[in-house]
Structure formats: C-alpha cells, structure tokens
Amino acid sequence: MGPPQRQDGKRRLQISLMAVLGGLLLWGCQGDRPGKSLAPAPVPVVVAEVKARNVPVEIRNIGNVEPFATVGVKSRIAGQLVKVNFTEGQDVREGDLLFVIDPRPYEGALRRAEADLARDQALAVKARSDYRRYAELLKNQLISQQEYEQAKSTAESLEATVRAHQVTIQNARLNLSYCYIRAPISGRTGNLLAHQGNMIKENADTPMVVINQIQPIYVAFAVPEGQLPLLRKYLARGEVRVEAVIPTEPDQPESGVLTFVNNTVDQTTGTILCKATFPNPGRRLWPGLFVNVVVKLAEEPGVITVPSQALQTGQQGQFVWVVKPDLTAEVRPVEVDRSLSNEVVVKKGLNLGERVVLEGQLRLTPGARVEIKHPL
C-alpha cells in the first residue's frame, strides 16, 4: 500500500502545480490585453472649411505681346545714303528726320525742269500774241485761213507743253522730298540695316529700319470656341477688361481693354484670335513677350469654393474627403464648375461650413477616425 500511495500523492501534486501555472499564464495574457481589442489610431489631417465668396467669371490663357503698329522704312528713290539721323533703338516721333539720300541729282533735275518751263512759257506768250494778231488779220482778210489755223495750233501746243513742264516740276520736287526720309509713325527703332555711304535701291526688298509702336500696344491671345458665346454676351454689354500678367512679376498686372475678336474660328485649333489694347505707360509690355492673359467678364456672388488640393480624382469621377462632426471621414462626390488660381468652384456636392481634407487623404478610408492638425 505504501508505494502506490506515494505515487498518487506525487500525481496530485503535479496536477496542482500545472493548474497554478496555467492560471498564472492566463492572468499574464489578460494583463497584456485589457479589454476586448485596441482601436486604430486616428489619422492626422489638415482641413479647410467650405466657404462662399464672390468669384470672378474669367477666361485665362497665354498671350503674346505685339506692337500696335509696325512699319518697315524703305526709300522711294535710288541714291547714296549720306546721313543717318538717329541711333538704333532710339524712340522717334512721327515726322522726325531719319535718313537723307544724296539730293544733288534730284535738285539738278528740278532746276532743269524749271528752266524748260521758263523757256516754253516765253514761247507760249509769243504764240498767244501771234494768235491774237492773226485773228485780227483774218477778219480783215489779210491772211489765209491756213495761216490763222497754224498760229492757233502753235499757241495751243506751247500751252500744253507749259502744263507738261509744270507736272514735271511737281514730280521733281516730290522726288527731291523723298531724299529726306521721315518717321511715318511714333515708336522705337530696331536694328539699323542701312548705313551711311550705302547705295540705296528704290523700294528695296529689305527695309532700312523697322519702327514698332509700343504705346499703346497689343496682346494677342486665343479663346476656345466654346467660350465665344460667353465672350460675345459680355462684349454686347459694354467694355471688357483684360489683364496681362508678366510671369516674373505676377503682382503687377497691366490693365487693358478687349478691342478685337477675329471673324473666324481657326479650324485646326478650335480657337478664335482676340486682341486687347494696353496703354503700356511704363513700357513693361514688350513686343514678343509671353504673358498670362485674364479676361474679366463679370463677378459671380455667393459661390462655394474649396482649395484645389482638396479635389481628388477616382474611377467614379472627382471627389473630396469630408470630415463629419464626429471626426470621421466620408467620401463625397462633387461636381466642379471651373478652376480659379488656387481654388475650384464646386457646383454640387458640398454645403457651407463643412470641412474638407487638404492633406492626409492617402491614409483615409470611409469611416476612419481623424485628428485635425493645423486647421485652415
């Protein structure tokens, strides 16, 4: 009986120890996981409030600055260039003397024409006197009809010659005036292509200098054909203002007026050419410069806008993440009307006062808890 009793006692002791150890292990596991389970940490996000404000109705595009007028100055006569009366890049006014072509050959032609006129005028005076005298002699039948007719013909011929010489003198004076080439418009001269001493051709293919009028000045730009009805609508109401923004100086736009809409749509691009006129008092707009053009049509009141970075694009279209009052995230499909500089105008899908997520969208899921960081 002795040995079996000792074995039973050892067995009971082992069972008791295993039970105690299991309890300790169970207690330790419960101590590591209090409650049912740990909730996921909230996602940090940056938000902005949905607001309503007055926004402009605008057409934006890239434009190119063009001179208001461009004239290539050419000579209307041939000769040697004896004087250049300006420097390259100089501002000139209409009527300023630019070039002088050697006037001596044309002065000589004028003097010769004047001498021929004086000679034939003297002959014409004598011929008229003879004609009057022959008329009296014919009345008294002292000369024949043929002699009278000859005197009359001579007088009329010389009078016609005098008139021809007068026209020749006018042409000679005109050619002489062409020796002095003056600025046809006010503007800024470009590269000088003819220098003193050069032989100049009449109406040569290459101009002697090009003058660009830059005050006022044009900005040309294209408008999509779909926006043409809107543009014409506001043009019918009155003056349409246009701003030209130099990319390197975005805070100093130049203000002008829309003055030209082309009469046809470019079929290759689907756009229509427009031009705005700018006074350009500081000459900040320069021919050939590219600028950002803003056509200001009207102002629309009470429009819902959100920052551009809130807008997301998915398979179902555009949407934003909205933070609900209980600080959970919701996907909200939206309909965007148009884009502004740093905002978008939302036509449908958002209400005033709601909060949209600007940063942290990649970690969000529908119903996820969020933590707002630095609200805007």
Assign 24 a pLDDT band (cuts: 50, 70, 90).
Answer: very low
Q: What is the pLDDT of residue 20?
A: 46
Are the C-beta atoms of 345 and 304 separated by less than 8 Å?
Answer: yes
Residues 273-291 have a mean pLDDT of 95
Range of the structural domain that residue 334 is part of: 45-54+302-372
Same domain for 294 and 220: yes
Domain with residue 121: its CATH number is 1.10.287
90 and 200 together in one domain? yes
The string of DSSP codes covering 98-151 is EEEE--HHHHHHHHHHHHHHHHHHHHHHHHHHHHHHHHHHHHTT-S-HHHHHHH
Same domain, 186 and 164: no
Taking the model in full, what pTM does it have?
0.68
In a shared domain, residues 280 and 306: no
Separation of CA 226 from chain center: 19
172 inside domain: yes
Q: What average pLDDT does the chain have?
A: 87
Final residue belonging to a domain, choices 178, 193, 224:
178
Domain final residue, candidates 272, 299, 326: 299
The answer, yes or no, to whether residue 297 has pLDDT greater than 60, is yes
Last residue of a domain, one of 206, 222, 245: 206
Do 81 and 200 fall within a single domain?
yes
Q: Which helix (H) or strand (E) holds 67?
A: strand 51-73
Q: Is the pLDDT of residue 185 over 50?
A: yes
| Residue 74 main-chain phi, psi, to 5 deg | -125, 160
CATH number at residue 234: 2.40.30.170
pLDDT tier, 9 (very low <50, low <70, confident <90, very high otherwise): low
- Is 151:145 a contact under the CB 8 Å cutoff? no
Identify whether 29 is part of a domain.
no
Same domain, 224 and 336: no
13, part of any domain: no
Q: Is the pLDDT of residue 2 over 80?
A: no
SS3 49: strand
